[in-house]
Structure 1
Amino acid sequence: MRAAGMTLVSALLAAVLGAPSGPEQERPAPQALPPVQVSDDGRFFVHADGTPFFWLADTAWSIFVNLDRGEVERYLDARAAQGFTVIQAVAVFPQAGGPGPNRYGHDPLADGMTPAVSDSGDDYWDHVDFVIDAAAQRGLRIGLLPVWADTQAGELVTTENAGSYGEFLGARYGDRVVWIMGGDSGADGVEDVWRALAEGVAVGANGRADYTGLLMTYHPRGDQTSAEWFHDDEWLSFNMLQGGHCRRWDNLLGLIEGNYARTPPKPFLDGESIYEDHPICWKPEDGFSTEEDVRRNAYWSVFGGAAGHTYGHHAVWQFLTEDGDASLGARGTWTDALDFPAGQQMRHVRALVESRPYLTRIPDQSVVDGEGVRATRDSEGSYLMAYATEGAAFTVDTTVLTGGELRAWWFDPRTGTATDAGPAERGASVEFAPPQESDWVLVVDDAARGFAPPGS
C-alpha cells in the first residue's frame, strides 16, 4: 500500500536517515519564462522577439533526489549568479542514490512507470515542481530528462508505457521545461520508446501529437550524437552530442563538425562535456580533468557552431557530501565544487559571443593556421575570433573582414577581461602571438563598427 506517494520502506528510511519530514520552503509562484524557439536558419535559439538565447547549462542530474529545498535554492542561487541559463536534471535517475526516495522520503514511481502522486501537496512530483519553479524564479530553465536511458530504456520504460508517462509529464510541465530524452545511452533498438515518450509529452502539453512550442532533444552516450537516430524526426528540435570525459579531442571535433554539417540544419550543443575534476577516462591514475580541459571543450564547441554549451562538475551532478558515497571516482563536496574555476569561467564564453553580432556567427577554420586553434567569425565581416589552446603564435586571414581599419583584442577566458592589442594588419596570413603560454582568444574587429571590448 502506498500512502501520499511514499512507501512504508521509504518512510522508515526517511526516519532512520533523518530526512526532513516535509518541505521547509513554500513552493514559489509558478513563473513563465519568455519562450525560446529555434531561429529561422536552424542554427541558434532565440526568444519570440528574435533576440538570442545562449544555452549555458549545468548538469544537476540528481537534484530531485539528493537536495532538500533549502539546498536547491543554494545551488540555484549560485548557478544563476554565475550566468547559467539552463539546469539539466533527471526525473527518474538510477544513480547517486536514485531513483528514490528523495530527501522527503518520496519515490517517483509507484508501479512500472506510473508516477507516485497524491493530493497532499507533498509527494515526489511536488518537489520536482518546486525545483522547476525555483529555477524559473531565478531566470533558469530546467532541461528535464523524463527517465535516464542507461540501464532503463526498454526495461523500465517501454513502448507500452512511455506514452502515458509522457502525457503525465507533458500535462504537468508543458513548455515550461526543455525536454531531453535519453540519458547516457545510444538509442539502438529502442528508438520507438523515445518516439512514444516524445509524442506522449506533446499530447499531454498540446492535446495531440503537435510539437509546437516544445523544445526537445536526446542525450546520448559519450562520442555520440542524437543525430545518429533522430535528426529527421519531427519531435527533435535540436541535436545534443556528448563529448565525454577522455580528452579525445579529435573525436570531439568530428562530432562538432558532423553536427554542423547535417541537413536540414538544426541547433546542436555538447550536452555532457568533459566534467571539471573528473578522472580522465574514469582512471584516477591518469589524473583529473582541469579547468583548461573544460575551457577547450566549451570554446571549441561554441566556435564550431554550437548554440550553447553544457558544463559539469563531477561532484555536483551527484551532489556529493563529505559523508556521501562517491560515484565513479568523484572527490570533494558539491558545495565546494560550486566555486571551482571553470564553473565560474563559463559565463565568459557566453559574454564573449553575446558581445558581438550573434545570429550571423559561423565557424570558419579556413581563416586560421595553428595547432589547436579554432575560429568563428561574422558572416557579414564585422569580426572574427580565434581560440588558441597552446599559447603559440598562429596566423589569421584578416581579409575576410570589412572596413578600412582593423582592431585586435586579446580576451582572457579565465577572467573575461579584454586587452586592446591595437591596430591589426590586413592580410591573408597575419601572425598573432598570445600574451602568455596558455589559452587565449584573439578578437579582430572592423574598427568602424565601434564595438565595445569583447565580453562587455
Structure 2
Amino acid sequence: MAFTNVPIGGNINTKIWEPLEISLEASGDFVSPYTEVSVWIDLTGPAFRKRVYGFWNGGRAFCIRLTAPRVGEWTWFSNSNTADIGLNGRSGRILAEPQTADDVSANPNRRGMIGISADGRGLQYADGTPFFLIGDTWWSVPTFKFPLPQGERHHAIGPDADVRDYLEFRRGQGYNCVALLAAMPAWATDGFDSDLYDDEGTLLRNAWRKPNSRSPMSMHNEGGRPFLFPGKVPGFEEVVPDYDRVNPEFFKILDRKMESIDDAGFVPFIEVARRDTGPAWKKYHDWPNSYVRYVQYVFARYQAQNAIFSPIHYDYYLKTIPAHEYNEPCNAVIEQFGRPPFGTLLSANSNPSTLANFGEDGRWLDLHQTGNTREHYSYWWMAEMYHSKPTRPALAGEPYYSGLYNLGTPYTLGKEGDTPEDDAYVRSGMYGSLLNGGYAGYIYGAEGIWQSAVEEGSRVFMWDAFKWSSGATVQHLKTFAFVRGTDYRALVPCSDSLANARNGPDLGYEGWAYAAGASDRSWYLLYFEPDCADAIRLRGFSGPESYRLTWFDPRSGQWSEPGGIVTVSADTSLHLPALPDRQDWGLMLERVSF
C-alpha cells in the first residue's frame, strides 16, 4: 500500500496500521544532508509517546514515516538538530479508526506489526493472531532482477515476470515473507575480481560472480546504486562507494517494491547490508558512527510497514569483520534512537546462529535465527538457542537450498532441483529445524533464486527455480506444526531421547529422526528422514503409558486418520512402529487412557 501523505497543520482520518508519511522541505541547503541532519517528530497518542525519526530523501526533502497502532487521536510535532524553519515546529493531528473485518481479510498486515507471542516462542500480529513465518530468499529484490510492476498487467512466471508476479505466485503456495538485502553497494560487473582486496589485504567485497566472468553480478536498479561514487578507498574510488553518501533514488525504487510486498500481505525480512561491506566500512569511514547512521536510515525508511529488520546479514563468519564488532554499532542504534517505534522486531541471518555470533552482548536482538548453515549437524545450533536465556523465538534462515550446486565452490552434497531426492533434503531443513526449536518459522531458498540468476549463462534461471516442486511443499510445515493450533510451541526438543535415530552421517540429509514433546509427556511430534533405521525407540518414560499414532505425509501435507496404539515397554522406552515406507514421514503421538 502506498503511503498516505499527512497534511501539515491539519487533520487526517485514517485506520490503524496504515502507512503514513509526513513530507518536510528544508528552507536552506546543507553540504551533506545525510550526515548533517537528524529530523524527527514527537508522536503522542493513546498509551503512546515516542520520538519517531525521519530520513533525508534527496535535495531539500525529508520524510517521517509513521503509523497509528491504536484507535484514537494522535498529534505530532516536528523538530531537528538544526535551526531550519522548514523542518522545525510543524504539527498536525491524526484520527485513527479500527480496521474492518474485510480489511484484515484482504490483507493480514492490517492486523498490525509482527511481535512475539506471550510464551516467548512464536510470532503473532499485533491483534494476537498467530504468525508462522514461511519465507523465501530473494536477496536481490531492490535491484533490476525483480522488475517493478508496469500497470495492472500480470505475467506468467518466466523472463517477463515482475516482483508482483513472483509475490502472487508464492502467496498462492502459502508464503508470507521474503528475505531481502537493502544494499549490496560495491557489486557491479566492473572488470575487477568478485573477491577484491586493497593493497594491505583488507577485503573490499566478496560478491557473487557473474556467469563466465571474474567480476560480480551487477546490483543496481533504475535509481542507480545505493551509495554514490567516488568512494574513499585509494585506488578503488569507482569500485567501492562512499558509505557516507547514500543515494535516495535507489531507495525510492525499493519503496515501490515494498508497496507491492505490503499489498500482497507479505512481511519482508530486511537486512540493511551484507557482511562483506564491513572491513572497508570500518577501515575507511568513521566506524561505528557511519554504520549506525546507515542502519538507522533504513530502519526509519521502512518502520511504518510490517516488517522484521536486521542490522547485518552475517551469512558467513569469514570475509568480514568479527561478529562481536557488529554489536557495537547495532547496540548503538538502539541506544541513540531507541528501538523501532512501532514494534518492529530485530533479527539477523547469522551463520551459524545469532546466539553463537552476537551472544549476550547483542542487546539489540529480539528474534534468534540460524543462517546459511545446513546438514544434520547444524540443527544443534537451533536447539542451543531454544535452551538459552532469555527466551526468544527462533527462525530457520537459509538451511539446505533446493538444488544447491555452488557456494563459492561446488557443493557436493546437494541434489538436482525439482527431484524427489532434492525435495526430501529441503524437508530435512524444514522439519529438523522446527523440532529443534525453530518455532517462529522457516525461510526457504533455491539455487537460481537466492542469487536471482537472470544472467546469460546461468546454470538455473530464477524463474525456472520458482516452479520447482520443493517450493510448493513448504506450506505443509505449518500444517504439521499447527495440528493442535499453537500448542506445538510448548513442546520441548528431545531428539536425543530417540535411540537408533542417526542412520546417516553428520554431513547429510538422510537417516536421522527428530522429536519434540510436551513436558508432561502427553504428546509428541516426530519427523523421520528417508532411510531411517527400522527400530527407533523414544526414551524418557517411567510407566506403561500408551500413545495413539497419527502419520503425516510431508509431500502432500495430509494427516492420516488416527491409527494404532503403542505402549511403553518394560525397558521404559516406546518402540516406534515401522514407517509406512522408506520415504520421509511425520508422526504425532498422543497419550491415551483406558
Both proteins in one fold, TM over 0.5: yes
C-alpha separation between the residues in 2 aligned to 1:153 and 1:74? 34
Residue 253, structure 1, aligned to residue 398, structure 2: no
Residue 77, structure 1, aligned to residue 168, structure 2: yes
Aligned counterpart in structure 2 of residue 274 of structure 1, from 389, 400, 424: 400
State the Cα deviation string for residues 28-77 of structure 1 (Å, max 9, x = none): x9965522222344322233344432122211011211211131011111
Aligned counterpart in structure 2 of residue 263 of structure 1, from 386, 389, 410: 389
| C-alpha contact (below 8 Å) 1:280/1:287 kept by paired residues | no
Residue 365, structure 1, aligned to residue 365, structure 2: no
| C-alpha contact (below 8 Å) 2:446/2:465 kept by paired residues | yes
The residue number in structure 2 matching 1:318 is 451
Residue 277 of structure 1, CA deviation: 0.6
| C-alpha contact (below 8 Å) 1:211/1:235 kept by paired residues | no
Residue 439, structure 1, aligned to residue 584, structure 2: yes
Aligned counterpart in structure 1 of residue 278 of structure 2, from 146, 153, 170: 153
Residue 267 of structure 1, CA deviation: 1.9
Residue 424, structure 1, aligned to residue 542, structure 2: no
Query: Higher helix fraction: Structure 1 or Structure 2?
Result: 1
Instruction: Map residues 285-300 of structure 1 onto 2, 5 A cutoff.
Output: 286=412, 288-289=414-415, 290-300=422-432
C-alpha separation between the residues in 1 aligned to 2:457 and 2:183? 19
C-alpha separation between the residues in 2 aligned to 1:399 and 1:112? 56
Q: Give the TM-score normalised by structure 2.
A: 0.61
The structure-2 alpha-carbon separation of the partners of 1:258 and 1:438, relative to structure 1 and needing over 3 Å to count, comes to same
| C-alpha contact (below 8 Å) 1:391/1:440 kept by paired residues | no
Instruction: State which drifts further: 227-236 or 435-444.
Output: 227-236
| C-alpha contact (below 8 Å) 1:52/1:359 kept by paired residues | no
Secondary structure, in 3 states, of the residue corresponding to 2:363? coil
Bigger RCO (CA 8 Å, 6+ sep):
1
| C-alpha contact (below 8 Å) 1:396/1:432 kept by paired residues | no
Secondary structure, in 3 states, of the residue corresponding to 1:61? coil
CA RMSD of aligned residues (A): 3.3
| C-alpha contact (below 8 Å) 1:61/1:90 kept by paired residues | yes
Identity, in percent, stands at: 21
C-alpha separation between the residues in 2 aligned to 1:347 and 1:191? 35
Aligned counterpart in structure 2 of residue 242 of structure 1, from 342, 367, 371: 371
| C-alpha contact (below 8 Å) 2:278/2:321 kept by paired residues | no
Residue 34, structure 1, aligned to residue 162, structure 2: no
Q: Which has the larger radius of gyration?
A: 2
Residue 182, structure 1, aligned to residue 307, structure 2: no
| C-alpha contact (below 8 Å) 1:225/1:240 kept by paired residues | yes
Instruction: Map residues 49-448 of structure 1 onto 2, 5 A cutoff.
Output: 49-65=127-143, 66-70=145-149, 71-93=162-184, 94=187, 95=207, 100-102=219-221, 104-110=222-228, 111-117=242-248, 123-149=249-275, 151-156=276-281, 158-174=287-303, 176=305, 177-183=307-313, 184-186=315-317, 188-189=321-322, 191-197=324-330, 199-200=332-333, 207-208=337-338, 213-221=343-351, 224-232=352-360, 233-244=362-373, 247=375, 249-250=376-377, 252-279=378-405, 284=410, 286=412, 288-289=414-415, 290-307=422-439, 308-321=441-454, 323-324=455-456, 326=458, 331-356=459-484, 357-365=487-495, 367-369=497-499, 370-371=501-502, 372-379=512-519, 381-389=521-529, 390-397=531-538, 406-420=547-561, 422-427=563-568, 428-446=573-591
Instruction: State which drifts further: 87-96 or 193-202.
Output: 193-202
C-alpha separation between the residues in 1 aligned to 2:331 and 2:269? 14
| C-alpha contact (below 8 Å) 1:45/1:267 kept by paired residues | yes
Secondary structure, in 3 states, of the residue corresponding to 1:445? strand
Long gaps (5+) in structure 2: 1-56, 59-106, 150-161, 188-206, 209-215, 229-241, 416-421, 503-511
C-alpha separation between the residues in 2 aligned to 1:134 and 1:99? 23
C-alpha separation between the residues in 1 aligned to 2:345 and 2:338? 16
Residue 358 of structure 1, CA deviation: 3.2
Residue 270 of structure 1, CA deviation: 2.5
Long gaps (5+) in structure 1: 6-28, 118-122, 449-456
Instruction: Map residues 19-30 of structure 1 onto 2, 5 A cutoff.
Output: none
C-alpha separation between the residues in 1 aligned to 2:129 and 2:496? 29
Residue 313 of structure 1, CA deviation: 0.5
The structure-2 alpha-carbon separation of the partners of 1:191 and 1:368, relative to structure 1 and needing over 3 Å to count, comes to closer
The residue number in structure 2 matching 1:16 is none
Instruction: State which drifts further: 287-296 or 90-99.
Output: 90-99
Residue 346 of structure 1, CA deviation: 1.0
C-alpha separation between the residues in 2 aligned to 1:107 and 1:243? 26
The residue number in structure 1 matching 2:31 is none
Residue 148 of structure 1, CA deviation: 0.7
Give 2:528's aligned amino acid: A
The structure-2 alpha-carbon separation of the partners of 1:98 and 1:114, relative to structure 1 and needing over 3 Å to count, comes to farther
C-alpha separation between the residues in 2 aligned to 1:402 and 1:63? 55
Residue 83 of structure 1, CA deviation: 1.4
C-alpha separation between the residues in 1 aligned to 2:272 and 2:110? 20
Q: Give the TM-score normalised by structure 1.
A: 0.78
Secondary structure, in 3 states, of the residue corresponding to 2:476? helix
Query: Higher strand fraction: Structure 1 or Structure 2?
Result: 2
| C-alpha contact (below 8 Å) 2:139/2:179 kept by paired residues | yes
The structure-2 alpha-carbon separation of the partners of 1:310 and 1:202, relative to structure 1 and needing over 3 Å to count, comes to farther
C-alpha separation between the residues in 2 aligned to 1:209 and 1:58? 26
Secondary structure, in 3 states, of the residue corresponding to 2:115? strand
State the Cα deviation string for residues 93-132 of structure 1 (Å, max 9, x = none): 2445666421x25221123243212xxxxx3212211222
| C-alpha contact (below 8 Å) 1:38/1:46 kept by paired residues | yes
C-alpha separation between the residues in 2 aligned to 1:324 and 1:33? 42
Secondary structure, in 3 states, of the residue corresponding to 2:567? coil
The structure-2 alpha-carbon separation of the partners of 1:285 and 1:124, relative to structure 1 and needing over 3 Å to count, comes to closer
| C-alpha contact (below 8 Å) 2:544/2:567 kept by paired residues | no
Secondary structure, in 3 states, of the residue corresponding to 2:281? coil
Secondary structure, in 3 states, of the residue corresponding to 1:291? helix
| C-alpha contact (below 8 Å) 1:360/1:380 kept by paired residues | no
C-alpha separation between the residues in 1 aligned to 2:218 and 2:432? 34
Number of residue pairs matched by the alignment: 404
The residue number in structure 2 matching 1:451 is none
C-alpha separation between the residues in 2 aligned to 1:425 and 1:432? 8
| C-alpha contact (below 8 Å) 2:382/2:436 kept by paired residues | yes
| C-alpha contact (below 8 Å) 1:411/1:419 kept by paired residues | yes
Residue 258 of structure 1, CA deviation: 2.1
Give 1:162's aligned amino acid: Y
